[in-house]
Amino acid sequence: MTFNQKVKYDVIENIAVITLNSAETLNALDSELINDLNHVLNQVENDLEVKIVVLTGKGKAFSAGGNVKSMGDRTTLETIEIMSQATKVITRITEMKKIFISVINGYAMGAGLSLALASDIILAQKNAKFGLSFINVGLVPDCGLLHFLPKIVGPWKAKELIFSGAIVTAAEAYQYGIVNRLVEEDQALSEGLDYAKKLAAGPLQAMTFVKTIIENSQYLDLNGTIQYENFAQAVLQQTTDHKEGLLAFREKRAPNFIGK
């Protein structure tokens, strides 16, 4: 299904596939696409059968980022509104109890890179490129990029890449730890779906606890993180998946997790 034709949403078994569907604009994050994406995330969040979410773009770009052509014409209030809606997408992805995989099929530029970094896993085709061109139009990175990138590459490397308005190749992104896996051209979506299927067969509740704890541990000291871990273990030991994992271990077979 689609919303205003700018976002396509499909469900394959327990996997939701969200496709940015505005190839003619390189999937630029304009107000319509952002609005559609928020609608789709409502569906994803409310669908209890969906465990894994694959996010990709149609055409030769994952997303070219913000619509630069319209920036100079916006009022302050209009900028605040579109930034509020865009950052809502980012925070929902990071906080949702689903695992998100960004599949980068081409360019991921500016806020498009921020969108990719909000995911839990990034797969990229070898011809993909990642852009930090904010400085070229006199702006700072947004949509959480100043939160995500320093965590991955360190603050000094992040400043170097941002100050220079760098265009990073897929190979460099993999070397920096921005990308988890590189895949051949035109194979990103199929590889992403295969990886999603493997994750969907795992214990979803344990994975979402890992996601939450890692995201929050940066604000905590060691003792605070340990308290999160202890709470998670106490809850997870009551789940069906934990009991199935123990039984499978004793019976020397692969576990059949159901995400509950």
What are 2-51's pLDDT values in tens digits?
Answer: 555 899 999 998 999 999 999 999 999 998 999 999 999 999 999 989 99
Q: What is the CATH number of the domain that holds 246?
A: 1.10.12
Distance CA 170, CA 163 (A): 20
CB 49 within 8 A of CB 35: no
Assess if residue 260 is contained within a domain.
Answer: no
| Model confidence, pTM | 0.92
Task: State pLDDT tens for residues 220-251.
Answer: 889 999 998 999 999 999 999 999 999 999 99
Average pLDDT over residues 205-229: 91
Query: Are 33 and 60 part of one and the same domain?
Result: yes
Q: What is the CATH number of the domain that holds 24?
A: 3.90.226.10
Query: Are 76 and 124 part of one and the same domain?
Result: yes
- Residue written as tokens 């998670």? 232
**Rounded alpha-carbon distances, angstroms, from residue 228 to 81, 139, 176, 216, 224:** 35, 37, 29, 9, 7
What is the residue range of 73's domain? 2-200
Query: Are 179 and 214 part of one and the same domain?
Result: no
